[in-house]
């Protein structure tokens, strides 16, 4: 995946999620250790951050679409 630059308060979350998007979003223990939150909160924040026009214009639609797909999938898996 090409280098992605994010701006704003969620940039660290989005950068992490982008790095792990092809592996399903990243391991739950790494998310907890790095961000101090569970998977449900992390992926809900990813969806929120990508749902508005506050993402960096340098990102491709594909990367945002893929982030949202992975986040929705991980949230769905948490329901089980």
Q: Is residue 30 part of a domain?
A: yes
pTM flag (> 0.85): no
Q: Is residue 13 part of a domain?
A: no
The domain of 33 spans 20-79
Q: Per residue in 18-56, pLDDT tens? A: 889 989 999 999 999 999 999 999 999 999 988 875 454
Q: What's the distance, CA 15 to chain centroid?
A: 7
Q: Whole-angstrom Cα distance, residue 36 to residue 28?
A: 11
Q: Per residue in 69-80, pLDDT tens? A: 999 999 999 886
Backbone torsion region of residue 70, taken as left when φ is above 0, otherwise alpha when ψ lies between -120 and 50, otherwise beta: alpha
Q: Whole-angstrom Cα distance, residue 58 to residue 41?
A: 26
Count of structural domains within the chain: 1
Q: Is residue 59 part of a domain?
A: yes
In the chain, which residue ranges form alpha helices assigned H by DSSP? 11-20, 28-35, 39-50, 61-79
């Amino acid at each position: 995946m090409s280098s992605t630059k994010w701006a704003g308060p969620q940039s660290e979350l989005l950068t992490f999620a982008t790095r792990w998007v092809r592996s399903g979003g990243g391991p739950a223990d790494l998310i907890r250790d790095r961000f101090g939150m569970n998977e449900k909160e992390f992926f809900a924040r990813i969806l929120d951050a990508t749902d508005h026009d506050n993402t960096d214009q340098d990102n491709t639609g594909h990367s945002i679409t893929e982030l949202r797909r992975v986040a929705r999938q991980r949230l769905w898996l948490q329901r089980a």
